[in-house]
Amino acid sequence: MIVMIGGIKGGTGKSTVATNLAAYLANQGADVLLLDVDPQASAYKWAMRRQEQHPDAPKVNTAQASGRVFDVVRDVAKRYEHIVIDSGGHASDAMKSAMLGAQKLYVPLRPSQADLETVGEMVGMIADVQALNAGLEAFSLISLASTNPSVFEAQEAREALREVPGLILSDSVIRDRKIYRDAFFEGVGVVEMTHNKATPEVQLLAQEIFNG
């Protein structure tokens, strides 16, 4: 499976989602490549911390690419069971090129008006790519949602996204939990940390993507 985590809005937790999916797959015994096509290289740096600080942890292979990366995606697809692509928060050539090689695209969005206002442009880009990559399935994913049960922003955003053509609404929600930031800093996934509420979120999302 080649899954891409991307979108044109920055600060939506794309690298957090990508690294946690990669860690989940590694812990399932899968041969996984985390491909970072974001110039900031946040996911790649996470993988480097993992290798340096946790040499005995399940292996997450990693690589970087830029520009027109379709050929890179096509090449590595022959060598790995799963590829998780982390893309930057802007409409770059690398993002569009990577989408041409992906099977599933997940677009993390915060439950905010600023994020929802970017959906139309993203849908247009997806439609352009699907004209060439008809097998690409595109999903919206609420990310960084409040953990406060009295805050209904995530529910309201999900209702708005449900009506967007060209984007399938993910059943999963990733909430704004400190443990995601701690895990990212330490080079691990939340599934590798004990007693936390984030692990079921990642497990449900991963099962949706890879078993759905």
CA separation for the pair 151, 40 (Å, rounded): 32
CATH 1.10.3720.10 fits 2-211, yes or no: no
Q: What is the pLDDT along the chain (212 residues), one digit of tens a residue?
A: 999 999 999 999 999 999 999 999 999 999 999 999 999 999 999 999 999 999 999 999 999 998 889 999 999 999 999 999 999 777 788 889 999 999 999 999 999 999 999 999 999 999 999 999 999 999 999 999 999 988 999 999 999 999 999 999 999 999 999 999 999 999 999 999 998 999 999 999 999 999 96
> What residues are paired with 71 via a beta bridge?
none
**What one-character DSSP code corresponds to residue 37?**
-
CA separation for the pair 86, 125 (Å, rounded): 17
CA separation for the pair 176, 205 (Å, rounded): 15
Of 209, 204, 171, nearest to 190 by C-alpha is 204
The structural domains of the chain, with segments of one domain joined by +, span 2-211
